């Protein structure tokens, strides 16, 4: 089965966001970039937190927002590292070299505010576009684009 359209998921609460993030974590492999797009408050950090907890196998892992540090790294099983970026305060792609972008590409990169990547946006990335649902403060909608063969398992 091949996914020909970008699958969209209704996420009625943060637990549903966590379940989707856990499913994506099971599909991720070294060299992947997962781009978390959406407005402020859309659930990007909640998704990243759940993804990292699932990927590390540690449900109690403390995952602070990297808003001020810009990047946090996490050791995953098998000697892989996950790099969690928050690029809100980054002016552009030229600042990424200082933040270990080249090293991050050998592991798994989770990127909040991916539009700041510019020309460094990986063409094979998975984009998770999160959006609040008007009139329902806890609900979100997630549209995934990329990884068509891997996403087919989520669409079943």
Q: How far apart are the first and last CA of the chain?
A: 9
CATH topology of domain 8-151: Rossmann fold (3.40.50)
Whether residue 18 has pLDDT greater than 60:
yes
Residue 6: pLDDT band (50, 70, 90) is: confident
Tens digit of each residue's pLDDT (9 = 90 or more) over 19-34: 999 999 999 999 999 9
Residue ranges of domains in the chain: 8-151
Whether residue 35 has pLDDT greater than 50:
yes
């Amino acid at each position: 089965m091949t996914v020909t359209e970008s699958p969209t998921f209704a996420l009625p609460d943060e637990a549903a966001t966590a379940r989707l993030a856990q499913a994506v974590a099971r599909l991720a492999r070294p060299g992947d970039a997962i781009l978390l797009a959406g407005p402020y408050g859309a659930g990007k950090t909640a998704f990243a937190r759940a993804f990292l907890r699932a990927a590390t196998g540690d449900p109690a892992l403390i995952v602070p927002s990297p808003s001020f540090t810009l990047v946090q790294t996490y050791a995953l099983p098998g000697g892989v590292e996950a790099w969690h970026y928050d690029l809100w305060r980054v002016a552009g792609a030229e600042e990424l070299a200082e933040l270990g972008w080249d090293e991050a590409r050998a592991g798994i990169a989770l990127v909040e505010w991916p539009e700041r990547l510019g020309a460094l946006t990986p063409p094979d990335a998975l984009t998770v576009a999160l959006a609040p649902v008007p009139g329902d403060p806890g609900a979100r909608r997630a549209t995934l684009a990329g990884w068509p063969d891997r996403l087919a398992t989520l669409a079943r």
